[in-house]
Structures are given as structure tokens and as C-alpha cells.
């Protein structure tokens, strides 16, 4: 019973959950092992409302955390850090493995809340939760392997290195993968011996608190993973807090720049996972069916609200017509509607302002000469409760040119811009002609060309003959203005630890004085 009582939403309610039926009253901050109302003081006590994208209903609201609450959250994390960082890697590993197991056990509950809060189909939320527990399990495995080096020096002296945690890390998340982002940041942070204060996006505050409860149930010290809710001001307080050593941020480029500026004032470590406008390049020697699948995967998961989406689809001229015919036909069959229904393949966009923004990009694209081949307008489901949801039909824009706004800017919605090209050299230059560098994709049957392209493309991740797969073993992170630092993969350890060198003199010091 204890387990059920501490949950964000009672299991009985969750299992019976239907779109439009959830109302929450529980506090959404999590500090020192329990949910709390944020401490008043030092903030503007602004209340933010949380919407259900599929219905437009308010699910709950919360008070944004101010200075006093941030101080308490960081202080509590610091206390937990002292105990946690002294454990052996194997001891930390055991607790994190239990957390991964609990996430698996609560998979359906977390996925339901995620779909209600983000608007994405339940089938996708389940995969998000799987990717999340895999990250926790993966870094649990790595925790016991963290070690330094021994370095032999002349005269019998030697040195060794210690791989040490950083301290209290801050995680700041975007709204598109709320639970997964919280896990991708906290799993390596905790595995390396750090504590974390996490701030979800104010649009999606719910599932990070479920993760906090799971960590507590798994046995981490109270305070090791605290959650504070809020928006710009709260984020800013976290990035400037003197008790914080690192900020790992996922969000847009403009906010990432502000985060880096703020963190720089106290020389904090920073990881930035920012936006993109990634190219997907389809050569005429590809398997066309697979390339069409790739283009759909690269554009329409999570209503197109995916940072590494391949939204600039370059198709070699001689297969352009065949490609368009197939991709448009497939896109028209995507089933839109209630995110909690099993056969829904596209849900609602995150908010009304965001939907309006995406639609205005399409309007502008038309004015600039693009041809709407399908979708691009509002979708109003038949069911009465979904009438005020933020739905739109997935859109394919043909006749795009490099200088169009829809090709240059991140739209972050279900909008694919299709461009044609003639030669490999030409497409490399055009694909790289962007300030972003998050991901890229290539479809071709020519092996040497595929690897030549992967080497030439300026992006942190290159997919060959697939798109948007994210196994936890592979480091993920951007080039150029898409950010720096990695999440996932062993490389991430570098970003949550610091290396101390210890010199040991075995003789007498040589001294000129
Ligand atoms: N590279 C990656 O891994 C990913 C990148 N993104 C990017 O995120 C963006 C969409 O997410 P949004 O939530 O709209 O981004 P956003 O930049 O508006 O907000 C991100 C987070 O930063 C917080 N924030 C806002 N101002 C802040 C400040 N001055 N200091 C500290 N924190 C502040 C927000 O409250 C939110 O939690 C897109 O550009 C997308 O490409 C999204 C997911 C993954």
C-alpha cells in the first residue's frame, strides 16, 4: 500500500485513465525524499497551469520555485551528495539497477501520464520509458567500472588519477521527452557519484516527480534527486547558484546561450543539448521503401517535436517523383487522434501557441513558393472531448529551396521540407550550410558513399539507412550551435566527472633554493 500511496496518481485511477479525465492536486516539487509545496520567498509566487494537449483542459497548476526553494533543494542535494559520493561504484550500481527495475515495473503508469501531458501516442511513450530505464541500467553497469590510472615516473615516484564526481548538478529539460530527458541526465550523474536538482519544462512537470519517487524507493539518499518546478526565473536561479557545479541543459538554442552565459559567471561545467535542422539525404541507389520509412521516422515521431529530426529531406532528382508519391501516400494514412488509443500514430502538439507557430511556418512557406503536398492544416477529431485539442495534419512541403524559412529554421512540428539535388558534392555543401549540427541521415546502397557522407557531414550523429534510433550505448550530442557534451554512451562519464592527478614523491624533492 505504501507504494501506491506515494505515487503521483493512484494506480487504480491511472489504469482507468482516459483522455480528459485526469485532475491532479498533489505537490509537484520533490525535495529530500518527498513531494513538497515550494517554500515561499525569493520568488514571484507565479502559478503556472499545465494543459492536456489533446483536450486543452487544465490538468493541474503549480507555484514556480523561487530563491528560497532553490536554496533548500541545493542544500538537500549537497547533503545527499556527501553520503552518496562516498559509496563504492558497485554500491551505487545496485541501487540504480533497482531504480531501472522499478521504472520497468511502472512502465505503463509512466507512459500514460507522459501521453496525457505531452499529447504523444501511448505507443511512443512506452518506447520513451523503455529508452529511459535502459539508460539507468546502462549507467548502473558503468558505475562499478569507474577508475583512475597509475602512472610510473622516474626514481620510483609515481602518480595516479582519481575520477571524481562534480558535486550538485542541475538538469534542465525540454517538454518533448520529459521522462527520458530526466533519466538521460540523472542516470550518468548519479552513477558517477553526483546529486541532481532537476527542473522539467513548465509545460510537462509530471513524470520527473515519478522518477524522483522511484529513486527514493530504490534506496538513494534523501535529496539525491530533487525536482523543482518553474520557468525562466527558476532556471536562471539554478544556473547561477553557487552550490551548483554543473548544468546539463536540453532546450532551444537561444535559451542554451543564456544558460551558458549565466553558468560562465561562476565557471560551471555545461552540457548543451540544443535544437537542430538536420538533413536527410536520399540517393537514387537507395532502397526506396526503406528511404520512405526513414523520412517518416525522421519527421513524424512525437508530432515532429524531436530535436534531431531530419526535416530537410534532400532527394536525388531522378527518384524525386517516385519518392514523393510514396511518402505522401503513407503520410495521409497516419492515424491522428486520442493519444491514449492503441492505434493512434500522431497525437496533439504541446500547446496552442506552439501549434499556431507551426501553422504560421507553413503559411510562410506557401508565400515563399513551397507546395503543400499534404496536411498542414488543423485537424479536428470527431470525439467531442478532443475538439479543443492542439491537433494538425502532418505536412509535406514540396518545391522547397535552401533559402526558405521552413528550410532554415527549426519548426519543431510535423512538417517535412523536401528538396532535390543532383550530385554528392552539391548535397554535402548544401546539407552542411546551416548553423545547426545535431544529426544527419543518408540512404544509399553504396557502402563507400555512405561512409564518405558520414565523414563529410557536420553533425553529432549520422544515421546510415535508418533514422531516429537512439540505443543507449551510442553517445548523443550536437556539433556547431546544436550544442556540446554528450548524453548516453561511455563518453558521457567525461561530462559528469573530473580527473584529479595525485603525484607521489618516493625520494627527496629537488629544490634550487
Ligand atoms: N538536443 C537535444 O537533445 C534536444 C533539444 N531540444 C530542443 O528544445 C527545444 C524545445 O524545447 P523548449 O522546452 O521549448 O525549449 P526552451 O529553450 O524554451 O526551454 C528549455 C528549458 O529551459 C528552461 N529555461 C527557460 N529560460 C531559462 C533560463 N534563462 N535559464 C535556465 N533555464 C531556462 C525552460 O523552462 C525549460 O525547462 C527545441 O529547440 C528542441 O530542438 C529538445 C529535445 C532534445
**What pLDDT digit, counting tens, does each position of 270-312 carry?**
999 999 999 999 999 999 999 999 999 999 999 999 999 999 9
Distance (Å) from CA 5 to ligand 1 centroid: 32
Give per-residue pLDDT as tens, 444-462.
999 999 999 999 999 999 9
304 Rama class: left (phi>0) / alpha (psi -120 to 50) / beta: left
Write the CA distances from 156 to 109, 500, 503, integer angstroms.
59, 20, 12
Residues 280 and 298: their CA atoms lie apart, in Å, by: 8
260 Cβ inside 6 Å of ligand 1: no
CATH 3.40.605.10 fits 16-275+486-498, yes or no: yes
Reported as a pLDDT band with limits 50, 70 and 90, residue 18 is confident
Q: In the predicted model, what is the mean pLDDT of residues 90-111?
A: 98
From the alpha carbon of 256, which atom of ligand 1 is closest?
17
What pTM, to 2 d.p., does this model score? 0.96
Residues 315 and 320: their CA atoms lie apart, in Å, by: 6
Give per-residue pLDDT as tens, 236-274.
999 999 999 999 999 999 999 999 999 999 999 999 999
From the alpha carbon of 174, which atom of ligand 1 is closest?
13
Q: Which residues are catalytic?
A: 273
Distance (Å) from CA 350 to ligand 1 centroid: 13
Q: Which of 217, 167, 172 is nearest to 195 (CA)?
A: 167
Residue to substitute in 119, 176, 255 for testing ligand 1 pocket (most ligand atoms within 8 angstroms of CB)? 255
Ranges of each domain in the chain: 16-275+486-498, 279-476
φ and ψ of 114, to 5 deg: -60, -45
Residues 6+ away with beta carbon under 8 Å from 488: 135, 138, 184, 470, 471, 472, 473, 474, 475, 476
Residue-level pLDDT at 6 = 43
Class of domain 279-476: alpha beta
**DSSP designation for 156:** G
269 Cβ inside 6 Å of ligand 1: no
User: What whole-number percentage of the chain has pLDDT above 70?
Assistant: 96
C-alpha cell at 106: 511502472
**DSSP designation for 378:** B
Distance (Å) from CA 416 to ligand 1 centroid: 22
Which helix (H) or strand (E) element contains residue 47? Answer: strand 47-51
Amino acid at each position: 500500500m505504501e507504494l501506491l500511496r506515494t505515487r503521483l496518481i493512484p494506480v487504480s485511477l491511472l489504469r482507468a485513465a482516459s483522455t480528459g479525465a485526469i485532475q491532479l492536486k498533489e505537490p509537484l516539487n520533490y525535495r529530500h525524499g518527498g513531494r513538497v509545496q515550494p517554500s515561499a520567498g525569493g520568488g514571484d509566487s507565479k502559478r503556472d497551469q499545465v494543459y492536456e494537449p489533446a483536450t486543452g483542459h487544465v490538468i493541474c497548476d503549480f507555484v514556480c520555485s523561487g530563491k528560497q526553494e532553490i536554496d533548500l533543494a541545493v542544500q538537500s542535494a549537497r547533503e545527499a551528495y556527501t553520503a552518496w559520493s562516498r559509496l563504492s561504484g558497485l554500491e551505487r550500481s545496485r541501487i540504480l539497477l533497482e531504480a531501472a527495475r522499478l521504472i520497468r515495473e511502472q512502465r505503463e503508469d509512466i507512459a500514460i501520464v507522459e501521453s496525457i501531458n505531452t499529447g504523444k501516442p501511448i505507443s511512443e511513450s512506452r518506447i520513451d520509458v523503455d529508452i529511459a530505464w535502459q539508460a539507468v541500467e546502462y549507467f548502473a553497469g558503468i558505475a562499478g567500472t569507474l577508475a583512475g590510472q597509475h602512472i610510473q615516473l622516474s626514481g620510483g615516484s609515481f602518480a595516479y588519477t582519481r575520477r571524481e564526481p562534480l558535486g550538485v548538478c542541475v538538469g534542465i529539460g525540454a517538454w518533448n521527452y520529459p521522462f527520458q530527458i530526466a533519466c538521460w541526465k540523472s542516470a550518468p550523474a548519479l552513477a558517477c557519484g553526483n546529486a541532481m536538482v532537476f527542473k522539467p519544462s513548465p509545460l510537462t512537470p509530471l513524470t520527473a516527480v515519478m522518477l524522483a519517487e522511484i529513486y527514493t524507493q530504490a534506496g538513494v539518499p534523501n535529496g539525491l534527486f530533487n525536482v523543482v518546478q518553474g520557468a525562466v526565473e527558476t532556471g536562471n536561479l539554478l544556473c547561477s547558484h553557487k552550490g551548483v557545479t554543473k548544468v546539463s541543459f536540453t532546450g532551444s538554442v537561444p535559451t542554451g546561450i543564456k544558460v551558458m552565459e549565466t553558468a560562465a559567471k561562476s565557471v560551471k561545467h555545461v552540457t548543451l543539448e540544443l535544437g537542430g535542422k538536420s538533413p536527410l539525404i536520399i540517393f537514387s541507389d537507395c532502397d526506396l521503401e526503406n528511404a520512405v520509412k526513414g523520412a517518416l521516422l525522421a519527421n513524424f515521431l512525437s508530432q515532429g517535436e524531436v530535436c534531431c529530426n531530419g526535416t530537410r529531406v534532400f532527394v536525388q532528382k531522378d527518384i524525386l517523383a517516385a519518392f514523393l508519391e510514396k511518402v505522401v501516400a503513407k503520410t495521409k494514412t497516419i492515424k491522428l487522434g486520442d493519444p491514449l488509443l492503441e492505434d493512434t500514430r500522431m497525437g496533439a502538439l504541446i500547446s496552442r501557441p506552439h501549434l499556431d507557430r507551426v501553422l504560421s511556418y507553413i503559411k510562410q512557406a506557401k508565400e515563399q513558393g513551397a507546395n503543400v503536398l499534404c496536411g498542414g492544416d488543423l485537424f479536428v477529431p470527431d470525439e467531442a472531448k478532443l475538439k479543443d485539442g492542439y491537433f494538425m495534419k502532418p505536412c509535406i512541403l514540396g518545391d522547397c529551396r535552401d533559402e526558405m524559412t521552413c528550410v532554415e529554421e527549426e519548426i519543431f512540428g510535423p512538417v517535412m521540407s523536401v528538396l532535390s539535388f543532383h550530385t554528392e558534392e552539391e548535397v554535402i555543401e548544401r546539407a552542411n550550410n546551416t548553423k545547426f549540427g545535431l544529426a544527419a541521415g543518408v540512404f544509399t546502397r553504396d557502402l563507400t558513399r555512405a561512409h564518405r557522407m558520414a565523414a563529410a557531414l557536420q553533425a553529432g550523429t549520422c544515421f546510415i539507412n535508418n533514422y531516429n534510433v537512439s540505443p543507449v550505448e551510442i553517445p548523443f550530442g550536437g556539433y556547431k550551435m546544436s550544442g556540446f557534451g554528450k548524453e548516453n554512451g561511455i563518453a558521457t562519464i567525461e561530462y559528469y566527472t573530473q580527473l584529479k592527478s595525485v603525484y607521489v614523491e618516493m625520494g627527496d624533492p629537488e629544490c634550487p633554493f
